[in-house]
Structure 1
Amino acid sequence: MARRITLADVALKAGASKATVSLVLNNRESRISPETSERIRVAAQELGYTPNPAAQTLRTGKTQTLAFISDEVLTTRFASAMIHGILEVAESHDQMILMAETEHSPQRWQKSLASMKNRQVDGFILGLMRARNLQKVDIPLNQPAVVVNGKAQGIASILPDEHRAGQQAVEYLVAHGHKKIALIGRPPAGSSEHATMNIPRRMAGIDDAMRTAGLGFSAEYQEVLWEGEAGYLGALAVLEQAPDISAVIAANDRIAFGVYRAFQERGISVPEDISVISFDDEELASYMHPGLTTLRLPYAQMGQAATQILMQEDPANLISGVRSEGNEVLIPMPLIERDSVKTL
Structure 2
Amino acid sequence: MTDVNTFKPEDGNASDRPPSMADVAAVAGVSHQTVSRVLNDHPNVREGTRVRVLEAIKELGYRRNLAARALATAQTRTIGILTIGSEFFGPQSTVLAVEAAARAQGYFVTMTSMDSYDFGGAVTALNHLTDQSVDGVVVVAPHDKVTAAIDDLKLKVPVVVVAARTDVPAGDPVHYVYVDQRDGARQATKHLLSLGHRKIVHVSGPSGWFDATERNIGWREAMAAAGNDAVEFPAESWLAPSGYAAGVSLAPRVKAGEITAVFASNDYLAIGLLRAFWEAGLSVPEDVSVVGFDDLQIAEFYIPKLTTVRQPFADVGRAALTELLGGERGLQEPRMIAPTMVVRASTAPPPRN
Equivalent residue runs for 1:1-344 within 5 Å = 3-28=17-42, 30=44, 33-70=46-83, 72-74=84-86, 76-104=88-116, 109-128=122-141, 130=143, 134-137=147-150, 138-141=153-156, 143-149=157-163, 151=165, 153=169, 154=172, 155-175=174-194, 177-185=195-203, 194-212=207-225, 214-217=226-229, 220=231, 222-225=233-236, 227=242, 228-240=244-256, 242=258, 246-265=260-279, 267-282=281-296, 285-312=299-326, 327-342=333-348
Letter in 2 for 1:62: Q
Change (3 A) 1:17 1:197: closer
Among the aligned pairs, what percent are the same residue?
28
Report how far residue 340 of structure 1 moved: 0.8
Aligned mates of 2:131, 2:260 — CA distance in 1: 58
For 1:136 and 1:130, how far apart are their aligned partners in 2? Answer: 10
1:222 aligned partner, one-letter code? F
Q: Which runs of 5+ in 2 are unaligned?
A: 1-14
Aligned partners of 2:128, 2:146: CA distance in 1, in Å?
23
TM-fit CA distance, 1:334: 2.8
- For 2:268 and 2:50, locate their aligned partners in 1 and report how far apart those are by CA, in whole Å: 59
What SS does the corresponding residue of 2:292 show, helix, strand or coil? strand
Q: How far apart, CA to CA, are the structure 1 residues paired with 2:131 and 2:236?
A: 40
Which whole-Å deviations, capped at 9, do the CAs of 1:127-179 have from their partners, x for residues lacking one?
215455622322444x210122365652112333221011101222233x323
Decide which moves more: 145-154 or 117-126: 145-154
1:101–1:256 Cα change, 3 Å: closer
Q: Distance in 2 between matches of 1:25 and 1:299?
A: 32
Alpha-carbon distance, 1:238 to partner: 4.2
SS of match in other structure, 1:280: coil
For residues 3-27 of structure 1, what are the alpha-carbon distances to aligned partners after superposition, in whole Å with 9 as ceiling and x for unaligned? 2111221122122332333333333
Q: Distance in 1 between matches of 2:38 and 2:296?
A: 49
Question: Relative to structure 1, is the Cα distance of residues 186 and 113 closer, same or farther in structure 2, using a 3 angstrom cutoff?
Answer: closer
Could you say if the C-alpha distance between residues 110 and 80 of structure 1 is closer, same or farther in structure 2, counting changes exceeding 3 Å?
A: closer
Q: Is the 8 A contact 1:183 1:251 kept in 2?
A: no
Provide the C-alpha distance between the structure 1 equivalents of 2:322 and 2:155, rounded to a whole number of angstroms. Answer: 20
Residues 118 and 265 of structure 1, relative CA distance in 2, 3 Å threshold: closer
- Cα distance in 1 for residues equivalent to 2:19 and 2:313: 41
> Is the CA contact 2:164–2:179 (under 8 Å) kept in the aligned structure 1?
no
TM-score normalised over the length of structure 1: 0.79
Residue identity matched to 1:264: W
Sort the Cα spacing of 1:329 and 1:236 in 2 relative to 1 into closer, same or farther, 3 A: farther
Secondary structure class of the residue paired with 2:71: helix
Post-superposition CA distance 1:201-228 (Å, at most 9, x none): 212212222333x3414x8453342511
What is the DSSP-based 3-state SS (H/G/I as helix, E as strand, rest coil) of the residue aligned with 1:4?
coil
Mean CA deviation greater in 269-278 or 125-134: 125-134
Deviation of residue 45 (structure 1)? Answer: 2.0
For 1:301 and 1:127, the matched residues in 2 are separated by 14
Q: TM-score, normalised by structure 2?
A: 0.77
> 2:268, 2:128 → 1: CA distance?
37
Aligned residues: 321
What secondary structure, in the 3-state scheme, does the structure 2 residue paired with 1:279 have?
A: coil
Quote the Cα distance in structure 2 between the aligned partners of 1:48 and 1:79: 38
Q: Any stretches of 5+ residues in structure 1 without a counterpart?
A: 188-192, 315-324
Summarize the Cα distance change of 1:67–1:259 in structure 2 as closer, same or farther, 3 Å threshold.
closer
